[in-house]
Chain A
Amino acid sequence: MEKFIHTPLNPEEISELRAGDYVYITGIIYTARDAAHQRMFDTMMDGGQLPFDIKNNMIYYLGPTPEREGQVIGSAGPTTSSRMDKYTPLLLDHGLKGMIGKGKRNDQVIEAIKKNKAVYFVAIGGAGALLSKKIKSSEVIAYDDLGTEAIRKLYVEEFPVIVVIDSQGNNLYEIVLQSC
């Protein structure tokens, strides 16, 4: 089913999404990949303050290419999510509601998604040029020293994603393999 959602995410709306839904996201989302996750994780473990409010918000696993003059952002497709698995349950327990990446998640992440009624979206891997067109503004807000891995605040319009793991724990990757 095609659906349109806005950020910050509405918990009720999120719980109604089902694995396989094609969703267009509009609003603010934040980027973070390996190194930024490590830092956020360490900060949370030390009881510190995260650089942005993750409650009902969404993280996009992205490290873009540098933008040319006149461009909002460079190529901007998803990176493989499983590398963030180690850090994700803690973020979800702290209120993170959605993630955009590509590829499989481990059992702990799936459990944490169910427990916190969150959602895991996948964007098309290797379509960074196309996806960059849906990003209307981009600003580095933390961990500047990490270069491409810094945390960016993006404003996206009808950013296309697919629900892979929904709040009930249904997993689209499993479903398609079982149905053939």
Chain B
Amino acid sequence: MRIVHTDQIIQNIKEMCIEANYQLSRDVEDCIRNAFDQEDSVLGKQILGQLGENLDIASKDFIPICQDTGMAVVFLKIGQEVQIDGMNLEEAVNEGIRQGYQKGYLRKSIVSDPFIRTNTKDNTPGVIHYEIVSGDQLEITVSPKGFGSENMSRIYMLKPSDGKEGVINAVLETVKLAGPNACPPIIVGIGIGGSFEKCALLAKKALLRDLNEAHKLDHIRQLEEELLVKINQLRIGPGGFGGRTTALGVNIETYPTHIAGLPVAINICCHVNRHVTRVI
């Protein structure tokens, strides 16, 4: 057994919350800058230029990229040979979020009850997903998720006969409905298969994948490419003001499913697609 102390987890999560909100990952940033070169709409190009400038200001002047610093979604991949010492793991994760949002001057956007809606004032609790894997390492991913785009996400329980066409229609419908609300250019995370909740989780995980990394299955990679072209043909454009850059990327994750079903979840993320991963 390898021992990992919760103090280490707290410290890392704290730093990752801050890092994610001030600096995008290389792939997302490159996509935004490349889109600027390729955009044909005048207003769209102007907006992409400003998004690039925004990223420069964020890292230079220590201002969060976006004021919606999100709900902290945390993925833990825990090796079977890891023993966690110290406090309760869930409390440790939330303590890391608490410290990160406090020390990082990040916005506290969480309310304690969906109806009573009292702000918890420290951005906790986060949404935590645990996975037990082989090995003696602990992989942590922190992904602060903004709700302008989260609110535009959807789930469809399609029929097997709907097939690929059904999935394409569902994605295009979702992107159209999202329109300007999700702060385009967007990144589209799609989960296909599994059960109702599994495909939603797959969609969220799809948003974490590097935009330069194609899916390893050919037919899924082709579907990603086809969807990206079709989404950009909608010409919603940067900010919703028209143009060829509606999405920067489409990532799909799949899972086996039931003979009677074809669940599809579409998790929309804005261009501020934040995620940081560390292995300890």
Chain A positions within 8 Å of B, measured between CB atoms, are 20, 22, 35, 62-68, 71, 74-77, 79-80, 82, 102-104, 122, 124-130, 132-133, 146-149, 160, 162, 172-173, 176-177, 179-180
Chain B positions within 8 Å of A, measured between CB atoms, are 43, 47, 50-51, 53-55, 57-58, 61-69, 105-109, 117, 119, 121, 146, 148, 151, 179-181, 183, 235-237, 239-242, 270-272
Known contacts A124-B47, A129-B64, A177-B236; A80 and B241 CB within 8 A of each other: no
Q: Are B63 and A103 in contact (CB under 8 A)?
A: no
Q: Are A122 and B271 in contact (CB under 8 A)?
A: no
Q: Which residues of B contact A67 (CB under 8 A)?
A: 105
Q: Are A77 and B105 in contact (CB under 8 A)?
A: no
A81 to chain B, nearest CB (A): 8
B112 to chain A, nearest CB (A): 13
Q: Are B51 and A148 in contact (CB under 8 A)?
A: no
Known contacts A65-B64, A102-B148, A128-B64; A122 and B58 CB within 8 A of each other: no
Q: Are B242 and A68 in contact (CB under 8 A)?
A: no
Q: Are B67 and A125 in contact (CB under 8 A)?
A: no
Q: Which residues of B contact A75 (CB under 8 A)?
A: 58, 63-67, 69, 107
Q: Which residues of A contact B240 (CB under 8 A)?
A: 103, 122, 173, 176
Q: Are A64 and B67 in contact (CB under 8 A)?
A: yes
Q: Are B51 and A122 in contact (CB under 8 A)?
A: no
Q: Are A130 and B53 in contact (CB under 8 A)?
A: yes
Q: Are B242 and A125 in contact (CB under 8 A)?
A: no
User: Which 10 A-B residue pairings sit nearest by Cβ, starting from the closest?
Assistant: A125-B183, A176-B242, A103-B181, A129-B63, A130-B54, A75-B67, A129-B58, A75-B64, A128-B67, A127-B54
A85 to chain B, nearest CB (A): 12
Q: Are A82 and B181 in contact (CB under 8 A)?
A: yes
Q: Are A104 and B181 in contact (CB under 8 A)?
A: yes
Q: Which residues of A contact B119 (CB under 8 A)?
A: 146-149
Residue of B nearest to A35 (CB): B117
A164 to chain B, nearest CB (A): 8
Residue of A nearest to B238 (CB): A124
Q: Which residues of B contact A79 (CB under 8 A)?
A: 67-68, 148
Known contacts A65-B106, A162-B241; A173 and B180 CB within 8 A of each other: yes
Q: Are A127 and B148 in contact (CB under 8 A)?
A: no
Give the CA-CA distance A104 to B55 in the complex, in Å: 25
Task: For B241, give its contact among A35, A62, A132, A176 (CB under 8 Å).
Answer: A176
Known contacts A67-B105, A129-B58; A176 and B67 CB within 8 A of each other: no
Q: Are A80 and B181 in contact (CB under 8 A)?
A: yes
> Which of A63, A75, A133, A177 lies at the interface centre, i.e. has the most chain B CB atoms within 10 A of its CB?
A75
Q: Are B63 and A162 in contact (CB under 8 A)?
A: no
Q: Which residues of A contact B68 (CB under 8 A)?
A: 63, 77, 79, 128
B229 to chain A, nearest CB (A): 15
Q: Which residues of A contact B64 (CB under 8 A)?
A: 65, 74-75, 128-129
B181 to chain A, nearest CB (A): 4
Q: Are B183 and A102 in contact (CB under 8 A)?
A: yes
Q: Which residues of A contact B271 (CB under 8 A)?
A: 126
Q: Are A104 and B67 in contact (CB under 8 A)?
A: no
Q: Are A147 and B108 in contact (CB under 8 A)?
A: yes
Q: Are A103 and B179 in contact (CB under 8 A)?
A: yes
Give the CA-CA distance A125 to B185 in the complex, in Å: 10
